[in-house]
């Protein structure tokens, strides 16, 4: 994707006072030639950045938000209290629910408060609201995690599932091409801690580039995302296994790599012009 188009998409997203699902509809109308998966991936990344930027504000307002929640419940407010507070403070639903739930747990523990225990308990209760001992709060948190499709336990599961689906898609395509490979799960059984999604038993060649491994990413990659993966994953793969192929299934910025890059090549699908090497 050209940087100019990418910046235009970002400008549209950032034009919303509150980043929510309605933004996707606007993006699809404004950029009809860009695939839904690509727009959704860019949108999701921006939501993550937006949420992180709001975290400090959320912590500063935690006591105020919790007190307002309790006052609303005591006054008999209709369900959706936490979501309305999230709108008021311009915070993600799930993050606001986490703040209130944390305060509730700490309040219930009294002098026995333990930060690590509290964090673990809150995490479990966010994932399973039936564990929350306050029925009204349980329902409020449930609403938040249900309607927050970008920053909630449910959205994390969806992203993991999407990643697994594209890994399986890659496996099937490689099997169809007759490429012999080992999966990440197989490699870890033999003690490898950091492994790519696919380690080739016999290298392949794409556009004159020899490939020893393939990494599948079910997302769009901008420079920040790519550099983060480069630092935490790709360099390690290159050091251990040699050059490889990175697939960003929902696209990437055109200028992520230059012609002098010798460690890997980037594509948005499994190439069809594969040359297989003999043993």
Q: How far apart are CA 218 and CA 141, in angstroms?
A: 29
Give yes or no for residue 17 having a pLDDT over 70. no
How does pLDDT run across 168-201, given as a tens digit for each residue?
A: 999 999 999 999 998 888 787 777 777 899 999 9
- Does residue 221 sit in the same domain as residue 252? yes
Q: Would you place residue 113 in the very low, low, confident or very high pLDDT band (cuts 50, 70, 90)?
A: low
Q: Would you place residue 154 in the very low, low, confident or very high pLDDT band (cuts 50, 70, 90)?
A: confident
Give yes or no for residue 109 having a pLDDT over 80. no
Give yes or no for residue 57 having a pLDDT over 80. no
- Does residue 56 sit in the same domain as residue 103? yes
Residue 121 lies in a domain: yes
Share of the chain above pLDDT 70, in %: 95
Indicate the SS3 state at residue 63.
helix
Q: How far apart are CA 115 and CA 123, in angstroms?
A: 12
The enclosing H or E element of 206 equals strand 198-206
Residue where one domain finishes, among candidates 153, 174, 209:
153
Give yes or no for residue 4 having a pLDDT over 60. yes
b/e map 101-133, b = 16+ CB within 10 Å: bbbbbbeeeeeeeeeeebeebbeebbeebeebe
Residue where one domain finishes, among candidates 153, 178, 195:
153
How does pLDDT run across 260-272, given as a tens digit for each residue?
A: 788 999 999 999 9
Q: What is the pTM of this model?
A: 0.83
Number of domains, the chain: 2
- Does residue 11 sit in the same domain as residue 142? yes
CB-based contact 217:249 (threshold 8 Å):
yes
Residue 96 lies in a domain: yes
Residue 158 lies in a domain: no
Position 111 scores a pLDDT of 53
Question: Domain range spanning residue 170?
Answer: 163-276
- Within 10 angstroms of residue 246's Cβ, the number of other Cβ atoms is 27
Q: How far apart are CA 70 and CA 134, in angstroms?
A: 12
Q: How far apart are CA 185 and CA 198, in angstroms?
A: 9
Q: How far apart are CA 249 and CA 10, in angstroms?
A: 19
Q: How far apart are CA 84 and CA 133, in angstroms?
A: 22
* Across 158-165, average pLDDT: 90
Residue 118 lies in a domain: yes
Pairing of strands 264-267, 244-248: parallel
**Higher-confidence position of 107 and 41:** 41
Residue 247 lies in a domain: yes
CB-based contact 194:237 (threshold 8 Å):
yes
- Does residue 73 sit in the same domain as residue 193? no
């Amino acid at each position: 994707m050209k940087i100019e188009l990418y910046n235009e998409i970002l400008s549209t997203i950032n034009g919303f006072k509150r980043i929510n699902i309605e933004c996707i509809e606007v993006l699809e109308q404004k950029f009809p030639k860009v695939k839904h998966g690509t727009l959704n991936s860019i949108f999701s990344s921006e939501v993550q950045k937006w949420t992180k930027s709001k975290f400090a504000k959320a912590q500063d307002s935690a006591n105020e938000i919790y007190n307002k929640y309790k006052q609303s419940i005591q006054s008999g407010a209709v369900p959706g209290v936490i979501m309305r507070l999230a709108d008021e403070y311009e915070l993600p639903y799930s993050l606001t629910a986490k703040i209130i739930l944390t305060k509730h747990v700490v309040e219930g523990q009294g002098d026995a408060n333990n930060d690590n225990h509290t964090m673990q308990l809150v995490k479990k209760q966010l994932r399973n609201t039936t564990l929350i001992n306050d029925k009204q709060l349980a329902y409020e948190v449930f609403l938040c995690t249900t309607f927050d499709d970008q920053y909630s336990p449910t959205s994390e599961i969806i992203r993991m599932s999407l990643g697994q689906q594209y890994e399986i898609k890659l496996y099937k395509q490689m099997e169809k091409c007759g490429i012999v490979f080992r999966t990440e799960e197989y490699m870890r059984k033999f003690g490898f801690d950091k492994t790519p999604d696919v380690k080739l038993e016999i290298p392949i060649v794409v556009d004159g580039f020899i490939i020893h491994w393939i990494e599948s990413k079910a997302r769009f990659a901008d420079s920040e995302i790519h550099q983060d993966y480069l630092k935490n994953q790709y360099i390690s793969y290159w050091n251990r296994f040699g050059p490889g192929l990175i697939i960003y299934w929902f696209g990437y910025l055109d200028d992520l790599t230059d012609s002098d890059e010798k460690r890997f090549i980037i594509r948005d699908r499994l190439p069809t012009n594969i040359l297989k090497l003999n043993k």
